[in-house]
């Protein structure tokens, strides 16, 4: 078993790191303060292929693998959690649904512009009364035989990227009596080709949040939105399967984001303790500090290896769902532990917004919540163990 990255992956890692340092770091604090994602940065991420890493060149993607994508997620998240989730939702949720379940025609029409840099996507599953319980959703899609269209009515909340996204993969009930087996998936344009808002679609202002504040995260309402039947992914009733498959892959990205947040916070704390002097010497010279740093790095490396394992299993076509859940469960917990310890090591300065560890701590919390809470991850892992 080889635990080392290939030369190709090392080169990719270095490229992602340089991009994060030169393009994201100078504006990360400002984006967080203003709670607005920089659209020039988004355009650069499209231009340099960060939004289409694991997808085929046939449709305009980079042609990389999921490990490459995980490396990108870690490097950008070391600098900014908001950028991490912006890439994640577009890549591992929206695009994966179309790539995994779309026809060749749908991939040409919808996937190509998403991964060649033309458009940005989002993913509409969560509703105010339907988070982990997807069967509790109320959004409906009624088929109109006369026009061969579906009419969608309902609303989604916490839809990341929705403030600027061009299209959304939306999940809606086509047969309410069937529960999760009555959910279908649709590609729904949020904008017209001229950039104006699509008819019947309303996007709220950003939901004010504790962390990942620069990411666009809104409530999206659909009122009599007509979508051609050709925009349905898979068959009627396959929506829940499509949504869960996307979340399995998405959890690898969130695990990588968690590793990045933790490593970024540790890097900041390490630089600080080398310079900060107390009692006549740097606090890094104290054994208690060294032991704390050693514990933090050990946990990060363990989370990183679990994340890489899940990514490699996906790349090799294995059953990666349980491994992705374990990686997200462990890495998100590590991110919160390490970010708290980083703030503690830096004392009062760590609590100040002048230093990025304060932002990392706020951003880390959401990794235990989105794309399945820690409790849901434990259910997935326990289910794979065949305990009953």
State the catalytic residues: 371
Q: How far apart are the C-alpha atoms of 294 and 313, rounded to whole Å?
A: 29
For residues 202 and 221, the answer to whether their CB atoms sit within 8 Å is yes
Distance CA 92, CA 245 (A): 10
Strand 167-173 to strand 232-233: parallel, antiparallel, or no bridges (unpaired)?
unpaired
Beta strands in 3-82 (DSSP E): none
Residue where the block lists tokens 């088929």: 143
- Cβ atoms of 139 and 128 closer than 8 Å: no
| The two structure tokens encoding residue 45 | 């991420």
The CA distance from 330 to 210, in Å, is 22
Between CA 61 and CA 95 the distance in angstroms is 11
Give how far Cα 205 sits from Cα of 111, 123, 215, 357, Å: 27, 17, 12, 27
């Amino acid at each position: 078993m080889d635990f080392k990255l290939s030369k190709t992956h090392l080169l990719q890692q270095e490229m992602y790191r340089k991009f994060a340092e030169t393009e994201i770091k100078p504006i990360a604090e400002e984006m967080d303060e203003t709670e607005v994602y920089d659209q020039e940065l988004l355009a650069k991420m499209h231009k340099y292929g960060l939004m289409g890493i694991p997808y085929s060149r046939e449709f305009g993607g980079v042609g990389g693998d999921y490990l490459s994508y995980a490396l990108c997620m870690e490097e950008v998240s070391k600098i900014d959690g908001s950028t991490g989730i912006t890439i994640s939702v577009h890549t591992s949720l929206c695009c994966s649904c179309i790539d995994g379940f779309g026809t060749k025609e749908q991939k040409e029409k919808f996937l190509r512009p998403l991964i060649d840099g033309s458009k940005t996507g989002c993913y509409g599953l969560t509703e105010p009364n339907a988070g982990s319980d997807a069967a509790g959703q109320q959004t409906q899609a009624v088929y109109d035989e006369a026009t061969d269209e579906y009419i969608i009515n309902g609303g989604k909340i916490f839809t990341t990227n929705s403030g600027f996204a061009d299209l959304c993969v939306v999940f809606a009930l086509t047969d309410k009596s069937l529960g999760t087996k009555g959910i279908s998936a649709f590609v729904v344009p949020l904008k017209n080709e001229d950039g104006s808002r699509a008819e019947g679609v309303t996007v709220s202002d950003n939901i004010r949040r504790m962390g990942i504040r620069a990411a666009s995260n809104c409530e999206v309402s659909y009122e009599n939105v007509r979508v051609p039947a050709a925009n349905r992914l898979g068959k009627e009733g396959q929506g829940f399967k499509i949504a869960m498959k996307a979340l399995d892959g998405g959890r690898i990205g969130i695990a990588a984001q968690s590793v990045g947040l933790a490593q970024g916070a540790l890097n900041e704390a390490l630089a600080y303790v080398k310079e900060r002097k107390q009692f006549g010497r740097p606090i890094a010279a104290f054994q208690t500090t060294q032991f704390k740093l050693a514990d933090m790095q050990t946990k990060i490396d363990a989370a990183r290896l679990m994340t890489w394992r899940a990514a490699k299993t996906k790349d090799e076509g294995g059953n990666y769902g349980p491994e992705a859940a374990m990686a997200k469960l462990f890495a998100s917990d590590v991110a919160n532990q390490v970010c708290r310890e980083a703030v503690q090591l830096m004392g009062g300065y760590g609590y100040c917004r002048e230093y990025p560890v304060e932002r990392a701590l706020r951003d880390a919390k959401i990794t235990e919540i989105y794309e399945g809470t820690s409790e849901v991850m434990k259910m997935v892992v326990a289910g794979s163990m065949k305990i009953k």
